[in-house]
Chain A
């Protein structure tokens, strides 16, 4: 070890990382409520309402603007984001977010109320219309709704559209949705929320849909099969055409989970593979920022047969003369209604539009090419075994004898965000890794060095990690056993 703690025996690409840490009175940045709590009594003489319509008092921190600016600045320094370093969180597609999209979303002309007249919001309607069109082309879908506010909400629209379609055809008896075992947890939860029985589908030895198992699972009760392609192992479902035929033969619909669309941009489209309905995770594929957990948006595309069931309203070009508005809202004929109070996460949609308009055909195809190249290059540089190939934008390595969660904690000490761990379960001690197209070779080398440094370490070191982050290893069990979910709950400490 050198003076600064760098282990020179590890790969030269190793990075020493010390996250900011502000400690006051033995605590990391204190809570606002620990800096001040001021109680305001409501029932005083200048209250415009009688006492029986008001609360008695309100107790919150009362701090100056500079105190708040420092509080939130310190907190931001205790967060690792894409702008801090690589973030290869598998299935989450953590791309760099181009800064200019923030500026276009902040345009004053974007700040309109949803109840404004169509005549006075032609700009908003045109942007939505053009985005519907862009997404339709990219996914190979005939009609698109932009309303779902997240990927899981998009899945819910897909499932509700499937239900409405079957009911319209007098086939309400279809009560099963088939989901591969390795699918995103949201697929199972969404199908259940839609009132369906979930039929879990095992993978074959190569990590893909097992056609025999699919044959056995399909029946006249099948409402839909939910698939992502490439799947969560990064493998393309080569039998996709056959799968589509099998699902369609029993009268079911094929749903595409767009979480992994980044791998296919410009190279294959769900619509061409036989999918009937899909969602797009715009915060993944189209680089809108993840914002510490959201907001994202989960537009849904469908084939023309399903278009009448989409949520209301959608946007279309208006008929009529030059004096009429060019774009208008309309309700699809057999709409499922709404899945959001208004039109979804508008500001996210503006950023999505700007990203796609900036990249165009060439940039989008380049994104998938580099995403797949980066994943393959990174996998070739790490010592961990990658059991399933050929993968695309992401790979799932196995930590082998090591505990994947501990590997992740130790990777934090090397200045990188670790992969998704312990999922999908088909790979023991899974390290699900998606570097995305934005990382340079130099960054991928540093990332590989972090993997390899950790691969050589003993369990005791891993279990003691991390020690260069703001917080050291966190006790999850005590958090869940005695939940303290607000500063009010801390008063008893």
Chain B
């Protein structure tokens, strides 16, 4: 019996020992063994890459092209990029890594970066990257610094020069002219600073001052603000008084400022005697406030940059009209602050149409604007057009 018990104990011991050893081995294996080979095909991974990738062997024959690089082949831009890749692969096969940035007029206009690197087996890998957006942001940053310096330094410099000249001047007529120029330059600097402060305030504002607003009232307030400037040049501001189904919940001051800037631009860049058209409409859950003119329009190449701070389409003309270069930046920030956006359609020589898109909300009969939008007259009972003149 003792023998049986001893034998059983030995057997259990052996089994336990084996099991423990096996567990220990497993743990060791978990720590020390190399990672199992991935089952993912690296080509599939490269097909998901943002960059186009082309691989050639040491003889220059193409051995691989990812999905994005294959798609390039079908376009005229791709044909030109392929030409650049071929040129750079030739150089890289001779030993040097190379890179080039190519500007393509398109359409669409693009900036592409092509870089080629030698592989250990003597082949070459080429990466083709679309850097259009990166270049645009770089240009925006560089231009902003240059423009803000220019906008603030020019009036200050002019005032300094005029003051210097005034010291030695004794002709009252000339002195009066110089002083009036100094006042104009000082006002220009003050306008720029005011707009910068307004922009900063909009950027930092919280959504606490929001009220339900009638879209047509917002348009009327803007039209009233600019009524006098328009009248001086016999420009008619027409408001389509059709009341949309939705109202806007927004900051009255900010919206008035944004619409004011849009109407101001429309008046400034229209010919004398022209018409500026304002309209509110709904589009799904959005309220769209439209400001359209038949003025000089905006060249296509400038359209994507006009909302940048201090960006000017026609530098000479814009400064002549007294703008600070911040108006459209303010409009964009107001739109973003309200969860909306601003769209522009423009053709040079034919006019522009700006659409301020804001989230709409159903009209509640109990909701009335708690803050008047400027000196707004009672809405005329549904006329097709209201002439503010």
| Binding partners A and B | no
Which residues of B are at the interface with A, using a C-beta cutoff of 8 A?
A: none
Which residues of A are at the interface with B, using a C-beta cutoff of 8 A?
A: none
